[in-house]
Amino acid sequence: MAKNNYEALNSQLLDDLPKLCDLSVEILYDCIRCFLKAKKNFIGRIAMHMFSLMDLPLLLGSQGTSILETFQVKHTLVMDDLCRLSILHKQMQSCIKTDTLKRNSSPRGS
């Protein structure tokens, strides 16, 4: 009796397992496709924010704020948006922010 049950379940598993694998692959492809589409849209929005950084007026420094300060504020906002959709671990995101702050605040040699 147990052997018959085992053989019946095993044959059913052998029949259903390829179907399950095929369906799993389809679901995986759909998930990857949706993820890549969302990431593409997000990167497009980030690029538009980056282009707005390039539109800084030349006389911005005469209005009381420096170009560098304005760039750093907008750059930080864009980097925060980028880190929200990133698949990096939170520790890696904090390393990126720390590295960005170090690079932005370090004096540049001429």
Task: Measure the N-to-C terminal CA separation of the chain; round to a whole number of Å.
Answer: 87
Tell me the pLDDT tens digit for each residue of 12-61: 999 999 999 999 999 999 999 999 999 999 988 888 887 776 666 654 44
Total count of domains within the chain:
1
Q: In the block, which residue shows the tokens 């300060």?
A: 69
What whole-number distance in Å separates Cα of residue 19 and Cα of residue 25?
Answer: 10
pLDDT at 110: 39
**Measured distance CA(70)–CA(80) in Å, rounded:** 16
109 in a domain, yes or no?
no
Structural domain includes residue 107:
no
Whole domain around residue 72: which residue ranges? Answer: 1-97
Q: How far is the C-alpha of 72 from the C-alpha of 101, rounded, in Å?
A: 9
In the chain, the percentage of residues whose pLDDT exceeds 70 is: 64
Q: Is residue 88 part of a domain?
A: yes
104 in a structural domain? no
Residue 79 lies in a domain: yes
Q: Is residue 86 part of a domain?
A: yes
Write the CA distances from 32 to 26, 50, 51, integer angstroms: 10, 26, 28
Domain assignment of residue 105, yes or no: no
Tens digit of each residue's pLDDT (9 = 90 or more) over 20-29: 999 999 999 9
Enumerate residues 6+ apart whose C-beta is below 8 A from 81. Answer: 42, 45, 46, 49
In a domain, 102, yes or no: no
